[in-house]
Structure 1
Amino acid sequence: MNIFLTGGSGTIGRAVLSALVGRGHRVTALARSDASAALLREAGARVVRGDIGKLAEWLDIALAGDALIHLANSFDADAQAAETALVDALARTVPDRKTPFRLVHTGGIWLYPENSPVPLDETVPFAPIPAFIHVAEAIRKLQAIKGLSLAVVHPALVCAPDSGPLADMARAAESGEPFVTRAGAGTLWPLVEAGDLADLYRLVVESDRRVEVIGSGIEAVSAGDLAALVARRRGADIRLEREPAAADVPPDLDIAAGYALSQRASGEAAGRELGWRPRFTDAESLVLALVDAPA
Structure 2
Amino acid sequence: MRIFVAGATGYVGSAIVGELLQAGHQVIGLARSDAAVATLTKAGVAVHRGDLGDLGSLRAGAAEADGVIFAANKHLSETTDSAARAQAELNAVEAIGSELEKTGRPFVVTSGVIGRTSGRLLTEETPAVPNALTGLRLPVETSVLAMGERGVRASSVRLAPTVHGQGDTRGLVSMLIGVARSAGVSAYVGDGSNRWSSVHRRDAATLFRLAVESAPPGTPVHAVAEEGVPFRDIAEVIGRRLELPAVSLAAEEASRHFGPLAPLVPIDSPTSSALTRERFGWLPTHPGLIADIEEGHYFD
TM score, norm. by length of structure 1: 0.82
Which one is further off, 255-264 or 233-242? 233-242
The CA deviation at 1:102 is 0.8
Aligned to 1:47: 47
Aligned to 1:285: 291
Aligned to 2:77: none
Which amino acid in 2 is paired with 1:89?
A
State yes or no: 1:127 paired with 2:119.
Answer: no
Alpha-carbon contact 2:200-2:289 (below 8 Å) kept: no
Aligned to 1:202: 209
What is the alpha-carbon distance in structure 1 between the residues aligned to residue 262 and residue 68 of structure 2?
A: 28
Secondary structure at 2:126 match in 1:
coil
The CA deviation at 1:92 is 4.0
Alpha-carbon contact 1:11-1:160 (below 8 Å) kept: no
Q: Which runs of 5+ in 2 are unaligned?
A: 75-80
Aligned to 1:265: 271
Which amino acid in 1 is paired with 2:209?
R
CA displacement, residues 13-51 of structure 1 (integer Å, 9 cap, x when unaligned) = 121111112222111111212222222322332222211
State yes or no: 1:63 paired with 2:71.
Answer: no
Q: Which runs of 5+ in 1 are unaligned?
A: none
Which one is further off, 212-221 or 131-140? 131-140
Alpha-carbon contact 1:191-1:217 (below 8 Å) kept: yes
The CA deviation at 1:216 is 0.8
What is the alpha-carbon distance in structure 2 between the residues aligned to residue 214 and residue 270 of structure 1?
A: 6
Give the one of 187, 196, 199 matched to 2:194.
Answer: 187
Give the one of 159, 165, 171 matched to 1:160.
Answer: 165
TM score, norm. by length of structure 2: 0.81
CA displacement, residues 138-163 of structure 1 (integer Å, 9 cap, x when unaligned) = 33333333111111111002113333
CA displacement, residues 117-154 of structure 1 (integer Å, 9 cap, x when unaligned) = xx321111223443532432233333333111111111
Secondary structure at 1:265 match in 2:
coil
Structure 2 matches for 1:83-232, cutoff 5 A? 83-90=89-96, 92-95=98-101, 97=102, 99-110=103-114, 112-116=116-120, 119-130=121-132, 132-145=134-147, 146-157=150-161, 158-161=163-166, 162-163=168-169, 164-171=171-178, 177-178=184-185, 185-210=192-217, 211-232=219-240
Cα distance change on mapping 1:44 and 1:236 into 2, 3 Å = farther
The CA deviation at 1:175 is 6.1
Count of residue correspondences: 284
Cα distance change on mapping 1:182 and 1:42 into 2, 3 Å = farther
Identity %: 27
Aligned to 2:21: 21
State yes or no: 1:244 paired with 2:255.
Answer: yes
Which one is further off, 285-294 or 272-281? 285-294
Cα distance change on mapping 1:44 and 1:234 into 2, 3 Å = farther
Secondary structure at 1:100 match in 2:
coil
Secondary structure at 2:3 match in 1:
strand
Which one is further off, 52-61 or 127-136? 127-136
Alpha-carbon contact 1:2-1:26 (below 8 Å) kept: yes
Cα distance change on mapping 1:283 and 1:255 into 2, 3 Å = closer
CA RMSD for the aligned pairs? 3.2
